[in-house]
Structure 1
């Protein structure tokens, strides 16, 4: 009996070979079916649900879903709330843009400003002539305002330096006193250089050097009574020449510090103010120094 049972089990094994690969195949089919179902569910969009979500988002961002919104409106509130515009900060340089008046003022104000410029110019010119600095310092009244131009060679700074020379104290002190007593005009102090590269390890380039020189003049003015709030230091490097940099004389003219007292009123013209004094244009006739 036992032998018969053993033989039967042997026969069953022979009729059914190893079929374990069917398990892997079935798993693969199941995964494929699940993948296709997911892809199908993603590709189909419930239009009604999509529109409902869209309306909900619109209501959320419109501010109408806050509780009590309707009661506030019925009580006199307004749904059209306008946010107040933020005013731009006022600048101390607002009266002019780029040295020119932003808004023209009355002829009387412009005439008074012109006389003030002439007075300051006369005081500076008298000091310059007394000290024999006519070839180094020039003043000019332009459409932008009163311009004071100082050459730096052998006057303000040594080559490649932003430390004021000892001999420049008297000139800068005199200018500071005159400009301090002038009034409330802004002062724009700008440093300028030629195109020759500097070889000083302290300054990166001519732009850096010109900025340091303008700052040095501003600090001296502040020490002698000019309010720092009135002054702006600017470095222009070699980018604002008044003469060609192809000659030694031209490069000497470009190595300079300029002090601009900008206008705050429109300059009076011959047609709008009878009898106004016309200030002729002054060409840059500064005497260059020898290289």
Structure 2
């Protein structure tokens, strides 16, 4: 084989190697694009997760502040509503006075908290165990509360459902989250049917995360099963 043939063969081999390298490089480029996409999505999800954590933390802080005010002022422990220091305005005072007869009958409890007036109704008055359908005997007290909130308040109303710490898992309610949310929603719908403007109200399920009494005793669980109605001021 002469020198020309050898050189020609070597050139052909080098060209083939370059073509192979180019093909391999092109076939691997999609991996780089895919990795960039995955990285971008991961950053997006992490950012959304961080925002949700911040919102949840802000909500927890507000709830803790409400409970600290109760602990300091002793509200909610006596039959008559206790007015916290700071002279609440006339509308708040009027609402407390109008609701006081229901508290005297032990149908509700009233707390004057930093965010407004909180009305608590024991769940046994409203629902059967593990259910979110209002009992007929609950209509009387709910009617009276609705009349007061409709005729003597124009403020926003936050209805919260609370359960005890005993887990629940039924065909209708997979956990206490679903049960507490359903109970809050039923009360909101009742108030709307009685003429309270829907845009003023919101329903939230708290499950067993904000107990009134810590412990697994029957009395503690009974006290923790409740619906609270916060009239914001």
Same structural fold, with TM-score higher than 0.5 when normalized by the shorter chain: yes
Instruction: After superposing the two structures, state which structure 1 stretch, 208-217 or 168-177, moved more.
Output: 168-177
Of residues 8, 12, 16, the one that matches 1:31 is 12
Residue equivalent to 1:60? none
Residue equivalent to 1:261? 231
Asked if the contact 1:160–1:199 (Cα under 8 Å) also holds between the matched residues in 2, the reply is no
For 2:18 and 2:192, the matched residues in 1 are separated by: 80
Matched ranges for 1:182-193 at <5 A? 182-193=152-163
User: Matched residue of 2:202: which SS?
Assistant: strand
Residue equivalent to 1:115? 90
Of residues 116, 126, 132, the one that matches 2:101 is 126
Asked if the contact 2:91–2:153 (Cα under 8 Å) also holds between the matched residues in 1, the reply is no
For 1:36 and 1:198, the matched residues in 2 are separated by: 68
Task: Tell me: CA distance 1:201–1:28, structure 2 relative to 1, closer, same or farther (3 Å).
Answer: farther
Residue equivalent to 1:7? none
* 1:172-193: CA deviation from partner (whole Å, max 9, x where unpaired): 1111110012232100000000
Asked if the contact 2:121–2:227 (Cα under 8 Å) also holds between the matched residues in 1, the reply is yes
1:137 and 2:137 equivalent? no
Residue equivalent to 2:122? 151
Asked if the contact 1:194–1:245 (Cα under 8 Å) also holds between the matched residues in 2, the reply is no
Task: Tell me: CA distance 1:28–1:246, structure 2 relative to 1, closer, same or farther (3 Å).
Answer: farther
Asked if the contact 1:152–1:255 (Cα under 8 Å) also holds between the matched residues in 2, the reply is yes
For 1:28 and 1:165, the matched residues in 2 are separated by: 95
For 1:188 and 1:37, the matched residues in 2 are separated by: 71
User: Matched residue of 2:180: which SS?
Assistant: helix
User: Matched residue of 1:121: which SS?
Assistant: helix
Greater C-alpha Rg: 1
Residue equivalent to 1:93? none
For 2:183 and 2:151, the matched residues in 1 are separated by: 23
For 1:166 and 1:173, the matched residues in 2 are separated by: 11
Residue equivalent to 2:215? 245
TM-score, normalised with respect to structure 1: 0.53
For 1:202 and 1:246, the matched residues in 2 are separated by: 25
For 1:37 and 1:196, the matched residues in 2 are separated by: 70
Q: After TM superposition, what 4+ stretches of structure 1 lie above 4 angstroms from structure 2?
A: 25-28, 35-39, 97-100
Of residues 119, 129, 134, the one that matches 1:164 is 134
Residue equivalent to 1:210? 180
Kindly tell me the number of residue pairs found equivalent between the two proteins.
171
TM-score, normalised with respect to structure 2: 0.65
For 1:190 and 1:27, the matched residues in 2 are separated by: 86
Q: CA deviation at 1:128?
A: 4.1
- Could you list the runs of 5+ residues in structure 2 that have no partner in the other structure? 21-60, 66-85
Asked if the contact 2:159–2:184 (Cα under 8 Å) also holds between the matched residues in 1, the reply is yes
